[in-house]
Amino acid sequence: MKLRSLILLVLVLAAVGGVGWYATKSFFLTEYREVRTETAKFESKAKSFSAGAKGSRATKIGLRDAAATMLASAPVVVEHRLRGMLSELAERHGLAEIVVSHSRPKPAGNPADDRGSKVSRAFRRLLGRQTDFAVIQGRLQGIGTLEQIIETLADLRAQPWIHRVEGFTISPKGRDRTSFELKADYATIFAPDLVDSDREPPGIAHINESDLLALRAIAARSPFRFAEPMVPEVVVAPEPVRVVVEPAPPYDKWRVTGVLETLDVGTVEVMLARIDTGETKTLRIGQGILGATLTNAAGERAWFERDGLSVVVRAGETLDQAKPAESVHSQESASG
């Protein structure tokens, strides 16, 4: 009887021990291994973040230095300073018929968001929704001697706020080829989060002498000159006079997009855009387009003198929708 009880007790203890080991393995050891695995992953990530954090000071300094080359934190201020500073730059080298155009800020995509990137799709989507900075592209053009063109181009390349000169063309004007037209495409970075609203803009830097010497060396080869062949003089009987009807200027292609009044400076500018090509122009009082001269601007209106007649164009209208200034004044007086 005692032996049977002893055997039964041993069997009971063995069963309890087996159940206990199974429970320990299922509820403790398995979870313990998972916790250890996750802990190892987090420790590895923490080391990576710690290593990356060591470069944060250098990153902050780099961002601060980059912000020092940006023009402003508001798009309208950036555009105003671009037009003013680029016009001043071209004027100090004696260029004529200066035109400064620019686009609206365009967000720059992150290269890691490209489909060919090895970054995970979810992370690429996250990067795609994030905009670090935008780019404003534009063009400076004007007419002058080859030396003036070379100096202007070298000066443009020296400006820290022109972050990239994307291309340029120099074209001879006239048969004597002593006058040239410069068209220089540029890009500047716009990152409002990095620039304080009350910070003064960077000034106009001096020309980089090495750039100027390199460009002068190219110009010294006289790439635009060529020997004209001798053509025997031929006497031709005069042709009857033909009446040539000049086509009307494409007023319907140019739209007034806005009027910018700078009260502290006392200037007013009218912005126009060509609807078929996207070209933009900014006019000040006294400047003109297609034979129409800007005489005044206020609010949403711009006054032009065209063919000896004063006309008014509202923002959003094309130049061919201009109305005589007297009729507009009469209508407003009658409604008042």
pLDDT in the model for residue 193: 74
DSSP 8-state symbol, 318: B
pLDDT higher than threshold 50 for residue 210: yes
pLDDT class of 143 with cuts at 50, 70, 90:
very high
How would DSSP label each residue in 227-256? Answer: PPPP------PPPPP----PPPP-GGGEEE
pLDDT higher than threshold 50 for residue 227: no
Q: Which residues is 167 bridged to in the sheet? A: 185
pLDDT digits (tens, 9 = 90+) for 119-139: 566 655 655 566 677 888 999
DSSP 8-state symbol, 20: H
Cα dist from 244 to 172, 207, 247, whole Å: 28, 48, 9
Q: Can you tell me the distance from the alpha carbon of 255 to that of 232, in angstroms, rounded to the nearest whole number?
A: 49
Alpha helices of 25-105 — where are they, by DSSP H? 30-53, 56-67, 75-91
How wide is the angle at C-alpha 142 spanned by C-alphas 220 and 171, nearest 5°?
50
Q: How is residue 315 written in tokens?
A: 């923002």
Third-level CATH fold of 75-195+204-219: Threonyl-tRNA Synthetase; Chain A, domain 2 (3.30.980)
pLDDT digits (tens, 9 = 90+) for 99-111: 999 888 887 766 6
pLDDT higher than threshold 70 for residue 242: no
Q: Can you tell me the distance from the alpha carbon of 289 to that of 296, in angstroms, rounded to the nearest whole number?
A: 14
Q: Can you tell me the distance from the alpha carbon of 186 to that of 303, in angstroms, rounded to the nearest whole number?
A: 31
pLDDT digits (tens, 9 = 90+) for 5-51: 555 555 555 555 555 555 555 555 566 677 677 777 767 766 665 55
Tracing tokens 């106009």 back to the chain, one arrives at 204
Q: Are 323 and 312 in contact (CB under 8 A)?
A: yes
| Average pLDDT of the residues in 278-306 | 87
pLDDT in the model for residue 226: 44
pLDDT higher than threshold 80 for residue 219: no
pLDDT digits (tens, 9 = 90+) for 152-201: 988 888 888 888 888 888 888 877 777 899 999 999 888 877 777 777 77
Q: Can you tell me the distance from the alpha carbon of 70 to that of 62, in angstroms, rounded to the nearest whole number?
A: 13
Q: What residues does each domain of the chain span?
A: 75-195+204-219, 252-335
pLDDT in the model for residue 142: 93
